[in-house]
Structure 1
């Protein structure tokens, strides 16, 4: 389930460019999903659902729980807003979760990368 994000107005970047993960030559984009920044619980659900999708497991089998790995309240607050500005769209947050790199982008997309073998 890989959705394609709409390119922000006035932006010269797209998801086809180098991934925003450390050492991009070692990571492959597995999936991405949109989230609703006005709904702070949606971001957490989106992250866990995307990981479950990549691993082909039910959401309730993703362990450890995300809140044991990162401060989900802080992440949700960082992206909570009703209207994104161009500056907001350039913001991203990256963290490891399970064997993946999770990238939460200011343009309202969550991306899950897996290490290349």
Structure 2
């Protein structure tokens, strides 16, 4: 089973900790970086010569900017972007899908659920 390199955009401080610990602890992902917002994610990607994640996981809040940047970039447009959010606001989800998000997941509502989320995301990506 190959570990996937993942870049995450998450603006919630507690969520960052849960995601990093859960995704790395799963043995399924290598968390390359966690960006606070779309601008930070863009800087991380542009400033690295060797940086090419297998996927980007983005909270819906910075998701619009990230999706626009990724999908209009010659170098990065093939990287799948998956969004997640704690609320299932259909308009936000639809907009992200229109901008090129591969799929949307509900954000885990407790720390234990992040471990399941990592597994669920890995299985989804393995089936693609």
- Asked if these proteins are the same fold (TM beyond 0.5), I'd say no
**With structure 1 as the length reference, what TM-score do the two structures score?**
0.29
Structure 2 length-normalised TM: 0.28
Between 1 and 2, higher relative CO (CA 8 Å, sep ≥ 6) is seen in 1
